[in-house]
Structure 1
Amino acid sequence: MNADQILTQHWDILIIGTGAAALSSALSAVESTSPPPSILLIDKAPLDWAGGNGYFTAGAYRTRHNGLKDILPIVSNVSDEIKDKIDLPPYRAEDFQHDLQRVTGGRSDEVLGEYLVRESLDLVKWLKGHGVDWWLSFRRQAYQVDGRWVFWGGLHLTVKDGGKGLIKNLSDAVEARGCTVLHDTAARRLLTNGKGAVCGVEIERDGKTVDVRATSVVMCAGGFEANPELRKKYLGPGWEQAHTRGTPYNTGDMLGAAVALGAKTVGDFSSGGCHSVAWDAYSPKDGGDREKTNEFTKSGYPLGLMLNAEGKRFVDEGIDLRNYTYAKFGRAILEQPQGIAFQLWDKDGQKWLREEEYRDEIVHKICADSIGELARKCSEEGLVDADGFVKTVEEYNNAVAAHREEHPDVKLNPAVRDGLSTQSSKKQLTLAKSNWALPIVQPPFLAVKVTSGITFTFGGLQINPENAAVMREDGSEIEGLHCAGEMVGGLFYSNYPGGSGLTAGGVFGRRAGKAAAERAECSRRKEKL
């Protein structure tokens, strides 16, 4: 069929988006009834921007599990020689639920969280059955300690080739199951029948407006993170300056369309209401790089320092494992003068940096043989107080030395909160570094300039977690309208446990697809009566 034929026929299910949540929804729908429903996925992005934000991720899914006995059967990168050298503790439902509430300050919707946690392991097994090539995340979620691979932070599964691999695996599965995908097709307005049920979408394509009819609509169109005006409106002044990490097409259009129908918004629309990370200051500002994708992330700060343009530290870089801080430290950077910071390490600290984030080809490095020289070079990149920079590093090193003198048995272990700190009875910093406090004394020294990269927004629509139906302000469901992915509000506040966003998109996308397929089947039966 050509595009005109596609848009003029009636569809059982119309899915808005081509990211991981949308593709999971389509796969769930197509297997939920026999015969399967007719499914159309539309995306306002062109084909070469397919995959939404999922394409730009590391492809990591957080899931509950009982240790290696649950994980090894679904991963493809663990040889017999290495499996006995892996320390991977169970990450049970109560651990996942605890982390979700802990990092969100107890504000995460408990019911949504229960669905997310309970169904996470079944989700990754289901995705494995649809061709997702799971790998154990040695590169990003483990350190080699005493000859063993020690996993940490509750996030152990990734996909071969990261987000690129994830979207390819899911897209191949959707195509194989006969779903139709149309790009350069922007959803503008939700259509309703005389009873208030959603019955299609007004779309714009090639400068023309067309009404596309469907029994159900599933919105997986992302948040408003790529819309500087909405970021400023909801998150506050300064957020318009953040770099967009992923697709430039997530501009909040369908959030507005749903609200126009009376949909209820919930969740964090405040200044902390987004996932934002330490991001390369020299990266593209208004959208990600399709080749480098997640490599502009600069997550090596736990074993180093971050100083702002005034030469001062502003976060406890070692307060928690990286998986529980990276999504909020982008906000902290944006709040600093000029919205920038400098990450720094000495020769020993640089050994722990991940090649995909810090190799010469991916990052502009500022190198020097002394801290004073490093400060002078950083002054050419935006640092305004070189003397303050040097003083901060000196005070930090003195505090690290005092702690080590008082606690000689405390050893570095980057896979746990090791207690290697700046705080001792003899000396304490006003802003502690609570763990992994390595001295910065061995030349050559390295600094990297970072800013804030926004990934997705936390505020969104209220859904019924049972069927991912969009709720009205009065507590009723908007019939025929479902939602999954970044558009769902109420799960994350100020922060999130790494990898839980993709998992949530899969859990609720799967439920949305199933509910939409069952509604289509019910509609067909009524037509036959």
Structure 2
Amino acid sequence: MTIPSHANVLVIGGGNAGLCAAIAAQEAGAQVVLLEHSDQQERGGNSKHTRNLRVMHNAPTATLDNSYSAQEYLDDLLKVTQGNMDQPLTEFMIEQSATLLPWLQRMGIHFQPSLSGTLSLSHTNAFFLGGGKALINAQYLTAERIGVKIFYHAEVTSIHLEDGAFKSAAVTNRGFKQTITADSVIFASGGFQANKAWMKEIWGCVADNFIIRGTPFNQGTVLKSLLAQDVASVATPEQCHAVAIDARSPKYDGGIVTRIDCISFSIVVNKNGKRFYDEGEDFWPKRYAIWGRLVAQQPEQIAYSIIDSQVTEQFMPPVFPSMQANSIEELAQLIAIEPSVLTATVTQYNNALASDKKTAQYNPKILDQCRTQGLTPEKTNWALPINKPPYYVYPLRPGITFTYLGVKVNNKAQVLMNDGTASKNMYAAGEIMAGNILGQGYCAGTGMTIGAVFGRIAGEAAACQLKK
């Protein structure tokens, strides 16, 4: 099937945001063409690696406990972003998230019962039954069933604008170059984290040690083309969703299973055997996205998370098994740290713990204030002594999920120009505009919410524009 020369609505990008946009536009009466850079096997961008999305709800649902108010959601985002966001747009997204679950379920997406345990997500995040891959497959099946024309191996190499409006896109499809025009376009093509040259331009040589958790197809080509043509930008190039992941992970597409979730219950040291941050600062879903940046700031961008046998059942195990030893000295040798230095670090940490009475208050389900005293940095929650062998260690590298530099949008998902005007026929959804909500930091599941909310809005708005 040949890519047509014209579309009512052109969607660039085939992840969750692009699919939500395509389905919404097609259902609203438009004829939609969706271009996906990858092949069919690797389709879905980063969305195929996800597990959940974060939604507000004022009462328990079939898959979420209790309630999660708009104010709670906003407070969580304000905390992790330190207010670096478009707050009115964020509040709008939160309100819109309340209707997502039934809308997604109409696509054949199923959700599993609420998740209990140390992740503390039972009332905030709805988990996809079968994970992100099942989500993407259901969305593609729905899109195909309702008539969206989907093209794989379709790499958009440049965008042509005139007077703040979309005119055409240059596409390479299976080696053949062509141009496609459209009445409206929805950009859902992600960030630039897989573009090694661009990442090194921002980060320098440390970027060589970054691992890309998701798709290698997020090169940022569309984003760069738009920003060069007077489209307004949001966030800064160095801001990104950066997680501490297993250093043994593949360079691309390792996905969520490479994330190390035991950091809250561990001590983390750099290659010199020294701690460098409070591991117990807050619940893991609110703080895990700071750890990639923290590790990136350490010598050679490597760190190690160390636990003992007391906490091995309190976190989701990653895909790679831990390294283990019967003494701290043996553990140090496994990770090439001077044994006397690591032993001194662990001893200093253990000696800084509060009394046995305080330690007995350890509770992984709450901010238990089970902490150290007189240590730099302190560990402020979940501080247990590391003294029960065997001992375990996971090596850490910065794992980049997506970059936050993107295009500015309004609450109709319209792309904004540098003079503040809204484009008449350009919309954006997903990671390419996530910086409007996430100027820094991250709350688990928010990326998928951004994609679904603004994808749906963009699709409906683009179809509505055709009718006008």
TM-score range, shorter chain: over 0.9
Q: 1:430 aligns with which of 372, 376, 379?
A: 376
Contact 1:18 1:52 in 2 (8 A): yes
The code of the aligned residue for 2:304 comes to F
How far the C-alpha of 1:262 sits from its partner, in A, is: 1.1
**CA displacement 1:249-285 (0-9 Å, x = unmatched):** 0011011111232101111323xx0001111111111
> What number of residue pairs does the alignment pair up?
467
Distance 1:492 1:232 in 2: 22
Contact 2:192 2:402 in 1 (8 A): yes
The code of the aligned residue for 2:284 comes to R
Matched, 1:171 2:140: yes
How far the C-alpha of 1:66 sits from its partner, in A, is: 2.4
Which residue in 2 is equivalent to 1:279?
245
Which residue in 1 is equivalent to 2:330?
373
The code of the aligned residue for 2:456 comes to R
**CA displacement 1:135-161 (0-9 Å, x = unmatched):** 2342xx524xxxxxx944863311012
**CA displacement 1:367-412 (0-9 Å, x = unmatched):** 1111111112221xxx3x3322111111111222xx133636x522
How far the C-alpha of 1:237 sits from its partner, in A, is: 4.6
Matched, 1:227 2:195: yes
Matched, 1:48 2:41: yes
Which residue in 2 is equivalent to 1:411?
361
Distance 2:210 2:114 in 1: 29
How far the C-alpha of 1:167 sits from its partner, in A, is: 0.9
Q: Indicate how the Cα distance of structure 1 residues 154 and 326 shifts in structure 2: closer, same or farther if over 3 A, else same.
A: farther
Matched, 1:92 2:92: no
Tell me, which stretches of 5 or more residues in structure 2 are unaligned? Answer: none
Matched, 1:318 2:315: no
Matches within 5 A, 1:360-509: 362-379=319-336, 383=337, 385-400=338-353, 403-405=354-356, 407=358, 411-423=361-373, 428-465=374-411, 467-488=412-433, 489-509=435-455
TM-score of the aligned structures, taking structure 1 as reference length: 0.85
Matches within 5 A, 1:39-188: 39-58=32-51, 60-68=52-60, 71-72=61-62, 75=63, 88-138=65-115, 142-143=117-118, 151-152=120-121, 155-188=124-157
Distance 1:331 1:153 in 2: 27
Q: Indicate how the Cα distance of structure 1 residues 437 and 152 shifts in structure 2: closer, same or farther if over 3 A, else same.
A: farther
How far the C-alpha of 1:415 sits from its partner, in A, is: 1.8
The structure with the larger Rg is 1
Helix, strand or coil at the partner of 2:99 = helix
**CA displacement 1:450-501 (0-9 Å, x = unmatched):** 1111000111110112x21111101112221111100113221331111111
How far the C-alpha of 1:49 sits from its partner, in A, is: 1.2
Distance 2:169 2:340 in 1: 59
Which residue in 1 is equivalent to 2:14?
18
Distance 1:177 1:119 in 2: 24
* Percent of pairs with identical residues: 32
Contact 2:120 2:283 in 1 (8 A): no
The code of the aligned residue for 1:373 comes to E
Distance 1:313 1:67 in 2: 42
Tell me, which stretches of 5 or more residues in structure 1 are unaligned? Answer: 76-85, 144-149, 523-529
TM-score of the aligned structures, taking structure 2 as reference length: 0.95
Helix, strand or coil at the partner of 2:334 = helix
